[in-house]
């Protein structure tokens, strides 16, 4: 399956990944989706954290079907997608604690992806909430999305594990495009220093320039929203972390607009060269 396959029409596919677990991927994915949904974009969040699925827990919903059902013949994505908010915010639940899904073999993966391709074009954005680390499924998905958001925190272990993700994706999949979010930052300065450290290592050892999408401050409203099982931006739209995530959503929307015009330019070029 080629890189373009998961990017039908103007859908922007984004994988949210991290080296270390528990850095805030699921919260970020859900709230980016909620923010963009509120701005009238059609959103699909795919919970691909098949080890410990928790999108459904964070949303307080218990969907009937999940990713594992998609492996069965005849079951299509429309049968398993659940509605979070009406008219444009859907999600596809993972299968929690199902070890055989952690490392799907290539045939299974292709069959799941071929099915998924039939619905991706219905959304403006598809956000893949991936599991932490460098498992095969994580790497395969991360290398297929158009955009990759790497979440780190200022903790040194999160940084070294984040660097490992970049290194493996570059060396094994020739992926060179990463956008970093520093979560749980105490200040913009600390976040910038964290990014600079990661960027420095990528530049020095991998000859790679990674991008800085921005920071999300540590905010007590985040765990509170988790406890209440509501998206943070819905629960406390004015709080610091919500404002930070809104800024990130605007930047991601800009990426989509740019890649759309890029596609348009490509189509025009094709027309010209093919008469
Ligand atoms: N900006 C923040 N401020 C305060 N707490 C936060 C922030 N971001 C995340 N957290 C807390 O960290 C915990 C882990 O977040 P989350 O579940 O989104 O991480 P994750 O990367 O998806 O974890 P996993 O790797 O296990 O899937 C959450 O319970 C949340 O309360
Ligand atoms: Mg998670």
Predicted local distance difference test score (pLDDT) of residue 5: 45
C-alpha to C-alpha distance for 85 and 76, rounded to whole angstroms: 21
Q: What is the pLDDT of residues 136-181, one digit of tens each?
A: 878 888 998 999 999 999 999 999 999 999 999 999 999 999 999 9
Ligand 1 pocket residue status of 222, Cβ below 6 Å: yes
Q: How many residues does the chain have?
A: 275
Is the separation of the CB atoms in 38 and 28 below 8 Å? no
> Nearest bound ligand to CA 28?
1
Q: What top-level class would CATH report for the domain 8-153+221-257? A: alpha beta
Predicted local distance difference test score (pLDDT) of residue 98: 58
Does position 52 have pLDDT exceeding 70, yes or no?
no
Predicted local distance difference test score (pLDDT) of residue 271: 57
Kindly state the greatest CA–CA separation across the chain: 59
C-alpha to C-alpha distance for 221 and 226, rounded to whole angstroms: 8
Backbone angles phi, psi at 116, to 5 degrees: -60, -35
CA nearest to 157, candidates 132, 140, 137, 175: 132
| Domain boundaries along the sequence of the chain | 8-153+221-257
Q: What is the pLDDT of residues 187-236, one digit of tens each?
A: 999 999 999 999 999 999 999 999 999 999 999 999 999 999 899 999 99
Query: Residues lining ligand 2 (ion), CB within 5 A?
Result: 25-26, 49
> Nearest bound ligand to CA 22?
1
Token reading at 145: 């999305």
Q: Choose the residue to mutate in 15, 25, 27 for probing ligand 1, maximizing ligand atoms within 8 Å of C-beta.
A: 27
Predicted local distance difference test score (pLDDT) of residue 184: 98
């Amino acid at each position: 399956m080629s890189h373009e396959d998961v990017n039908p029409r103007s859908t922007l596919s984004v994988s949210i990944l991290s080296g270390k677990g528990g850095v805030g991927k699921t919260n970020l994915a859900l709230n980016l989706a909620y923010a963009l949904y509120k701005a009238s974009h059609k959103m699909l969040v795919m919970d691909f954290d098949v080890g410990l699925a928790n999108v459904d827990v964070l949303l307080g919903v218990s969907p009937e079907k999940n990713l594992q059902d998609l492996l069965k013949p005849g079951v299509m994505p429309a049968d398993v997608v659940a509605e979070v908010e009406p008219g444009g915010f859907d999600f596809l639940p993972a299968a929690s604690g199902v070890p055989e899904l952690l490392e799907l073999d290539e045939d299974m993966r292709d069959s799941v992806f071929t099915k998924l391709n039939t619905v991706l074009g219905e959304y403006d954005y598809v956000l893949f909430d991936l599991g932490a680390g460098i498992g095969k499924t994580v790497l395969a998905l991360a290398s297929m999305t158009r955009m990759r958001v790497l979440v780190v925190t200022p903790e040194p272990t999160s940084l070294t594990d984040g660097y490992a993700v970049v290194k493996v994706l570059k060396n094994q999949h020739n992926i060179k495009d990463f956008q970093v979010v520093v979560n749980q930052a105490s200040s913009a300065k600390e976040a910038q220093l964290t990014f600079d450290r990661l960027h420095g290592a990528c530049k020095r050892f991998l000859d790679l320039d990674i991008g800085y999408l921005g920071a999300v401050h540590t905010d007590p409203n985040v765990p509170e929203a988790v406890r209440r099982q509501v998206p943070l931006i819905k629960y406390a739209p004015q709080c610091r972390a919500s404002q930070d995530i809104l800024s990130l959503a605007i930047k991601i929307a800009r990426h989509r607009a740019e890649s759309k015009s890029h596609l348009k330019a490509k189509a025009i070029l094709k027309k010209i060269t093919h008469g």
